Amino acid sequence: MKPMSVYMMSNRPGGVLYIGVTGDLMRRVWQHRTHSVPGFTDRYNLVRLVWFEMHETASEAIRREKALKRWNRDWKTGLIEEVNPMWRDLWPEISAP
């Protein structure tokens, strides 16, 4: 079983947030960055990966994603800023060889 990722995309520090879950974080973030899949992230230009965490199973990841989507904005911002206070784009960290 391959690891699953829960992640957050944004358009800028403190900007619009999108929470997703995937089995291939690099491919999924690339899709958001290149606008290859129409939808919410494309419409709001959410191309900056600002937070992610890995999970052993799909059920764990989906449970975490659903929980995060119920969180209020301040809690989500706090979670991001614990590990990424400047809201840097984490794409280079996951895409580096």
Residue-wise pLDDT tens digits, 12-67 = 999 999 999 999 999 999 999 999 999 999 999 999 999 999 999 999 999 999 99
Sheet bearing 17-22, strands edge to edge? 17-22, 4-10, 48-55
Task: Tell me the whole-structure pTM to 2 decimals.
Answer: 0.95
Instruction: Supply angle C-alpha 14, 16, 21, rounded to 5.
Output: 110
Domain 4-95 fold is GIY-YIG endonuclease (3.40.1440)
